[in-house]
């Protein structure tokens, strides 16, 4: 038995922020952002937190799967921007959608979170512990961005994507994940400091800090590497794969992967122009769009690959 995605849902907040909107308070330029990143606009949440976005994406995925929320046995939310330190966003989702029989918890693997979630779910399903699960990537990174730092804040957007998975004969063929904790300072967001009435001073919260060029260099090397690895380890010829669904971080990273893998851009779907980088949500948001517009057909083979803070990376090969 393996994990098969039987339902997919996505939800992004309504409020659109264009590059030109950013130019009103930031020393930046629409043409620069389009040329250097491929982003034209992103969604920014004004009302709904991460759990609300996650719950709506989950409702849509459950509807798409045609199951009852009570059938879900496990909920994993991948997020780096939960509304509260505890309880988890996953238990919020459980309560909101009435998945009363599920165990629910969050994972943090930054932009690789959805693939990590699928990897964990695959383990539970292969071992027979659970048969039906829900994986959600959800972010409101807008609240941790330094909106005065033009080299990072222009990149990100808010949103959520969810997948219902179930034990089946075909589906996930292989997942692979990895981490390099020595590179943790390349991209991070400080949580609460140790300052309090014992240590002195007021508690502080940090903002995202990113060495963009380091992340870029890592991504253009790592993405082709893990895609090649997963194809080789499963003896899958690249031509058999219809879609390379890659984390949407920068169009130049996608184009570089296309060149290095010798895969035409027609096989690498792109929606970063409309959403920016939604971190853990980017892959399921893209999958939902592809399913809705008929690009994803039953039996299609697809590779997903992501990378992010940690540093972390992950890839999955599956039959849709
Ligand atoms: O999910 C993982 C999350 N992170 C990433 O994927 C980040 C990966 N890195 C990148 O996408 C790119 O490195 C960036 C888009 C962040 C930056 O692009 P770059 O081509 O690496 O630009 P740069 O940092 O080398 O900066 C080039 C110039 C600099 O000006 P000077 O020093 O040449 O005069 C920057 O100050 O571009 C300037 N610049 C900007 N100009 C207008 C940087 N950001 C902006 C901006 N608007 N928003």
**Residue 155 and residue 76: Cα distance in Å, rounded?**
25
CA of 150 to the centre of ligand 1 (A): 8
Q: Is the pLDDT of residue 101 over 90?
A: yes
Greatest alpha-carbon pair distance for the chain in Å reads 62
Lowest mean pLDDT segment, chosen from 16-30, 161-175, 202-216, 284-298: 202-216
Pocket test for ligand 1, best of 35, 152, 212, 310 (most atoms within 8 A of CB): 212
Contact assessment for residue 178 and residue 115, using Cβ atoms and an 8 Å cutoff: no
Give the residue whose CA is nearest to atom 29 of ligand 1.
151
**Residue 177 and residue 3: Cα distance in Å, rounded?**
16
User: Is 297 exposed, middle or buried (CB count within 10 Å of its CB: 0-12, 13-18, 19+)?
Assistant: exposed
Active site residue 40: no
Contact assessment for residue 98 and residue 69, using Cβ atoms and an 8 Å cutoff: yes
pLDDT in tens, 218-272: 999 999 999 999 999 999 999 999 999 999 999 999 999 999 999 999 999 999 9
Q: Which residue has the higher pLDDT, 192 or 114?
A: 114
Bridge partners of 5, per DSSP, are 165
CA of 305 to the centre of ligand 1 (A): 23
Is 223 a pocket residue for ligand 1 (Cβ < 6 Å)? no
Q: Is the pLDDT of residue 280 over 90?
A: yes
Lowest mean pLDDT segment, chosen from 29-33, 198-202, 211-215, 292-296: 198-202
Q: Is the pLDDT of residue 61 over 90?
A: yes
Q: Confidence band (pLDDT; 50, 70, 90) for 308?
A: very high
pLDDT in tens, 118-143: 999 999 999 999 999 999 999 999 99
Contact assessment for residue 314 and residue 177, using Cβ atoms and an 8 Å cutoff: yes
Q: What is the pLDDT of residue 204?
A: 82
Q: Confidence band (pLDDT; 50, 70, 90) for 75?
A: very high
Give exposure, 228-259, as e/b (b: 16+ Cβ within 10 Å): eebbeeeebeeeebebbbbbbbbbebbebbbe
Report the predicted TM-score, pTM, of the whole model to 2 decimal places: 0.97
Q: Is the pLDDT of residue 197 over 90?
A: no
């Amino acid at each position: 038995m393996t994990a098969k995605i039987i339902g997919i849902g996505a939800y992004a907040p309504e409020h659109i922020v264009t590059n030109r909107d950013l130019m009103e308070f930031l020393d930046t330029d629409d043409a620069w952002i389009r040329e250097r990143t491929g982003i034209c606009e992103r969604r920014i949440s004004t009302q709904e937190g991460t759990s609300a976005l996650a719950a709506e994406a989950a409702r849509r995925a459950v509807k798409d799967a045609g199951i009852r929320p009570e059938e879900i046995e496990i909920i994993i939310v991948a997020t780096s921007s939960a509304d509260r330190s505890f309880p988890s966003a996953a238990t919020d989702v459980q309560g909101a959608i009435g998945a009363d029989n599920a165990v629910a918890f969050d994972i943090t693997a930054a932009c690789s979170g959805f693939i990590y979630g699928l990897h964990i779910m695959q383990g539970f399903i292969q071992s027979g512990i659970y048969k039906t699960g829900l994986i959600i990537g959800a972010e409101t990174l807008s609240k941790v961005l330094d909106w005065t730092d033009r080299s990072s804040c222009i990149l990100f957007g808010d949103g959520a994507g969810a997948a219902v998975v179930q034990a089946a004969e075909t589906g996930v063929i292989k997942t692979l994940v990895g981490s390099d904790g020595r590179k943790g300072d390349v991209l991070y967001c400080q949580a609460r400091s140790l300052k309090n009435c014992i240590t002195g001073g007021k508690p502080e919260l940090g903002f995202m800090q990113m060495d963009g060029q380091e992340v870029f260099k890592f991504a253009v090397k790592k993405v082709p590497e893990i895609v090649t690895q997963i194809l080789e380890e499963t003896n899958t010829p690249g031509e058999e794969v219809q879609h390379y669904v890659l984390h949407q971080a920068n169009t130049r990273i996608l184009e570089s992967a296309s060149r290095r893998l010798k895969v035409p851009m027609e096989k690498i779907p792109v929606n970063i122009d409309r959403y920016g980088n939604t971190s853990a949500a980017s892959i399921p948001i893209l999958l939902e769009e592809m399913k809705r517009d008929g690009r994803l057909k039953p039996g299609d083979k697809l590779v997903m690959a992501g990378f992010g803070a940690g540093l972390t990376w992950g890839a999955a090969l599956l039959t849709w």
